[in-house]
Amino acid sequence: MTQVPPTRYRVVERGRRLEVIDTWARDGVPERPRSPLPAAGRRDARQPRNAQPRPAAPRRPAPAGSRTLVTSRWYDAKGPRAILLSAEAERKLGGARTTAIGAGVAALVFAALFWPLSLVALLFALFRAGAIRGWITVWLDKLDQADGEGSSARAG
């Protein structure tokens, strides 16, 4: 039967607080102090990989009744950003939503009728995802410039 080596750390309660004692420390000083903060430029292991900063508000005040579009990084290369929508931009965005819903319904019908070809189409779309994302970013830039000087604020 193998014996388990003694543990390095010991937990003791002192004054309603738990303290961790390093039993391998020399003269009461631990070998190397560890910071709870990650090193500069490194990702914190507790933070999810896909965590994104919240977009900042538009640089200029929004007129009464106007709306803001907040983009995401997965479809906008410059995202996340907040785009202040003018009346023309809202009309274009409404048309784009209608087109996207129609394309989604058509894709579902195509997938149901021609399922082997739909797998090929899906693979093609996945390989072209970078180009599609670029096209969406260019379209959003044009949407942002529709009201004149541009109003987006970039987070990050």
The count of C-alpha atoms lying within 13 angstroms of the C-alpha of 77, restricted to the half-sphere facing its C-beta, is 12
Q: Are strands 17-22 and 67-70 parallel, antiparallel or unpaired?
A: unpaired
pLDDT of residue 130: 79
Length in residues, the chain: 156
**Average pLDDT for residues 49-76, to the nearest whole number?**
68
Across 28-32, 58-62, 151-155, least confident range: 151-155
- With bands split at pLDDT 50, 70 and 90, how would you rate the model's confidence at 156? very low
Q: Is 81 helix (H, G, I), strand (E, B) or coil?
A: strand
Q: What angle do CA 32, 37, 39 make, to 5 degrees?
A: 80
Span 12-26, pLDDT tens digits: 898 888 988 888 777
